[in-house]
Every structure is written in structure tokens, then in C-alpha cells.
Amino acid sequence: MSKYLKYTLLTLAVIIHIYLIIGLIGLYGMEIEDHYGGLQTVYYKSKDDDIIINETTKEFGVVKKSWRRIYLWTPMNENDGLYGFAYKAGNNFRLKVYRLDKEQLQKIRQMNYKEVLYFIDKENSELILEFENN
């Protein structure tokens, strides 16, 4: 095989791999957009062990994130989905996402909604995202 043919095949293989990677990244983004719709900002900005508060229904949850989905630990339901958590009261809702330390997270699991709000204010937690759907 000539040197020119080897370089041509190598270049072609690299270009094909780049197109495949870009295509897979695009498909991943489309899958998240299809599943979460407007809530995709919540998916992308939140991390494991963040606190999410639904101000409309007066509920809170702890985020557990996989590479494709967000699951929420809530006091009422051990494993709730983000979509069901947000749209529980209908189409109009308001979500806030806070980031806490790991030590503080264990205290949150034994609290009710008002105690969690007080705790977040007292600890000066970082507000990651405020999302409102009208």
C-alpha cells in the first residue's frame, strides 16, 4: 500500500469518527429535549444531591441524576421523576434548585417544607436555578 493511500484512509477514518461523535452528541441532546421539553434547563444545570423546591405545590426533593434522567427523593415518594414533580399542580409552576454541602443534606431528609426553606435561608445556600412555567 502506498503512503498516499494510507494517509487518505487514515484521514477518511478520522473524519468519519468525528461525524459519528457529533451525531451521537446531537442525538443525546435531542433525547433530553424530547423527554423534558422546557425542563431541560433544570436537567443540565442540576447535579446530584441538589435540593429542588416546587413553590406551587410546597414540596421539595433531592436530585439523583443519571446520564439520561433525573430522579428525585421526596418525603412522599422515594423515587419521583422531574416531570411528575414539576407538573403535579398543573402547567403553572415555579421551581428553585439549591446546592448544599453533603453534611447538610442528611439533615434535610428529616425536615418538612417550611423547615427546609428556613434551613436554606439560614445556611446561605447557593441558588443554582429559578425556573417558572406560565
pLDDT value at 1 more than 90: no
C-alpha–C-alpha distance, residues 75 and 19, integer Å: 45
Q: Give the pLDDT confidence of 39-73 residue by residue, as tens digits.
A: 889 999 999 989 999 999 899 989 998 888 898 98
Q: Give the pLDDT confidence of 71-124 residue by residue, as tens digits.
A: 898 887 767 788 888 888 888 899 999 998 777 777 787 888 888 888 888 877
Give the domain ranges of the chain. 3-37, 38-133
pLDDT value at 8 more than 80: yes
pTM equals 0.79
Burial of 6 by CB count in 10 Å (0-12 exposed, 13-18 middle, 19+ buried)?
exposed
